[in-house]
Structure 1
């Protein structure tokens, strides 16, 4: 990605392009925009990560609450963001058996009841069996461990979404 293109974006363009690198959190893109110019995609990603890390616990939990349940209501109702739909599809979560859907639904509910935010994992880096195994395992973590792990997963998702945007912006500037 040519950073001159990113750095030349006005506020509205920047938020429009980067507003969902952290699921349903365009305010993060808005806050990071003020840190321009970025020297590289890695620098942009570091600014996002630093912003997330600077948030109090309640802010981090708020980021996690913006994420949909995996294979949950938003998927069934067709209201997932395009990014989430693609990620869940790649992980095989859009083609679960009735038994897998039921198991995942029960695990999601137990997890959310325990931690007060949905289970977050980078679906693109996992398949449905690994996701179910991780959900079963991570529910035993302490709240602090799980907050740290989940924020790490948000950063993994952000990294992959930034790479996707980089490819899209590069292709658009070649046209």
Structure 2
């Protein structure tokens, strides 16, 4: 089934990279690698969103762990300092607002800041959860469930959540 809304092959390199650089948070390198694949495989290779999603996920998964860690660290804390300062990307702002994280009481906000700091201190990257369709309570439960994990388990879970976020963002294109 073809996506009738977009013909990505018709975009020039700059527009293509601009569009797809929003999918993986502050990680333009993923869109640049995708462009290289599009350039090598024109004529409908990316005629379905599922193919684009799969290709982008593969690009990320084939990258070195150090690059993946940079990608994880590019994500903002949930209900964190960047959100308070209005420094989130448009996608992150919308996703966090959808989970009600922009409506925290002062006590909830202090709790989130503490959880973010504790998590980041333990793992070296922010707590990442695909919050689209989630509630504040579910996000808090996620912190409680995942903070006891070991580093590798949480690294793998965070990468899985990053791919879920990317899939949501692609679906919104």
Instruction: Using structure 2 for the length normalisation, give the TM-score.
Output: 0.91
Task: Give the alignment partner of residue 67 of structure 2, picking from 59, 63, 68.
Answer: 59
Cα distance in 2 between the residues matched to 1:56 and 1:148? 13
In structure 2, the residue matched to 1:111 is: 119
RCO comparison, higher one (Cα < 8 Å, 6+)? 1
Residues matched between the structures, number: 165
Q: What pairs with 1:1-150 in structure 2 (closer than 5 Å)?
A: 1-2=3-4, 5-36=7-38, 37=42, 38-150=46-158
Cα distance in 2 between the residues matched to 1:69 and 1:140? 18
Alpha-carbon distance, 1:129 to partner? 0.5
Gaps of 5+ in 1: 166-175
Cα deviations by residue, 1:82-124 (Å, 9 ceiling, x for unpaired): 1000000000000001111111110100100011000000010
User: Residue 24 of structure 2 contacts residue 30 of structure 2 at CA under 8 Å; is this kept in 1?
Assistant: yes
Alpha-carbon distance, 1:3 to partner? 7.7
Alpha-carbon distance, 1:125 to partner? 3.5
Aligned in 2, Cα 1:6/1:110: closer, same or farther, shift over 3 Å? same
Instruction: Using structure 1 for the length normalisation, give the TM-score.
Output: 0.90
Aligned in 2, Cα 1:76/1:10: closer, same or farther, shift over 3 Å? same
Structure showing the higher helix proportion among its residues: 1
